Structure formats: C-alpha cells, structure tokens
Amino acid sequence: MAGEGAVPDALEIEASAILQMLAPFPAEKEAVEGALSVYKSGGPDHGRQALGSLRNALENLVKRLSGETEWSLGLAKLIASETRRKTVRQVHSYLSAYGTHGPVQPSAGDTKSGFLLAFAGMRTLLESEKGT
C-alpha cells in the first residue's frame, strides 16, 4: 500500500471505490474491510483468509441483490449475459482456488490479483443491478 505522498496503487483505488459502492450493503462491505485488514496485517495465512472473505462477500452480494439463497441461481437472475456471468463465476473460482480451498498460502501477487478480480466481479454485479 502506498506511503505518505506516494501515488495510490490500483488496489487502493479500487478498494476505495468498491467500499463506497457497498455502502448500502453493510455485511458485504464489512467482509471486504476485513479482507483488506487481514491483507495489510501480513500475518500467517493472511492471503488465504483475505481471499476467503472476498469470496464470501461476492457470494452474499449476489444473494442479497437477487433475493436467491443459492448464489449461482442468483447470478443467473442478475446478469443476462452469459459472458458476464461466466466472468463472475471465474472470479469466484479463483477466490475459491487460492483462498477458501487453496492448499497453500497464495503469493502476494496471487492475493493482490484476487482482490482486483473480486472488485471487478462486485462492480459487475452492482452495475448490472443499476441496469448498466
């Protein structure tokens, strides 16, 4: 993360934007904030924990926006385009493979990529909710 006077990196910029977009969804916003906090802490298993929290936020956002209890059914309800649905499913798969179900601690690059992918997936969901 950027120090004082440094130019913010893509992760900081996107995190700020996504947290603003998630303001109406406090539980999902909290999960993202938790992921950022554990990522910044750098403690043991921080990458896997952060990516797991992001996966949880993504699934719960789909459920909340769609009203479905199953995230995959909710995704189909929210996004008409198969290409866009596939993109969100791939983000979910990445977060699962490197986070929740990952056999080893993801690298710093894998973790940062996971954040950026998760934010892109959440943006897709939130913008589709607005009809864009």
SS (H, E, C) 59-109: HHHHHHHHCCCCHHHHHHHHCCCHHHHHHHHHHHHHHHHHHHCCCCCCCHH
d(CA 69, CA 64): 8
* Sign of the C-alpha dihedral computed for residues 6, 40, 105 and 87 taken in this order: negative
Could you read off the pLDDT of 26-49 as tens digits, one per residue?
A: 999 999 999 999 999 888 889 999
56 Cβ contact list (under 8 Å, min separation 6): 31
Segment holding 16, helix H or strand E: helix 10-21
> What pTM value is reported for the model?
0.89
- What local confidence, expressed as pLDDT, does residue 131 receive? 47
d(CA 116, CA 11): 6
Could you read off the pLDDT of 69-118 as tens digits, one per residue?
A: 999 999 999 999 999 999 999 999 999 998 777 777 899 899 999 999 99
Band of pLDDT at residue 9, cut at 50, 70 and 90:
confident
Which of 4, 121, 6 lies closest to 54 in space, CA to CA? 121
How do the domains of the chain map onto residue ranges? Answer: 27-38+45-129
- What local confidence, expressed as pLDDT, does residue 5 receive? 52
Decide if 87 contacts 124 (C-beta within 8 A). yes
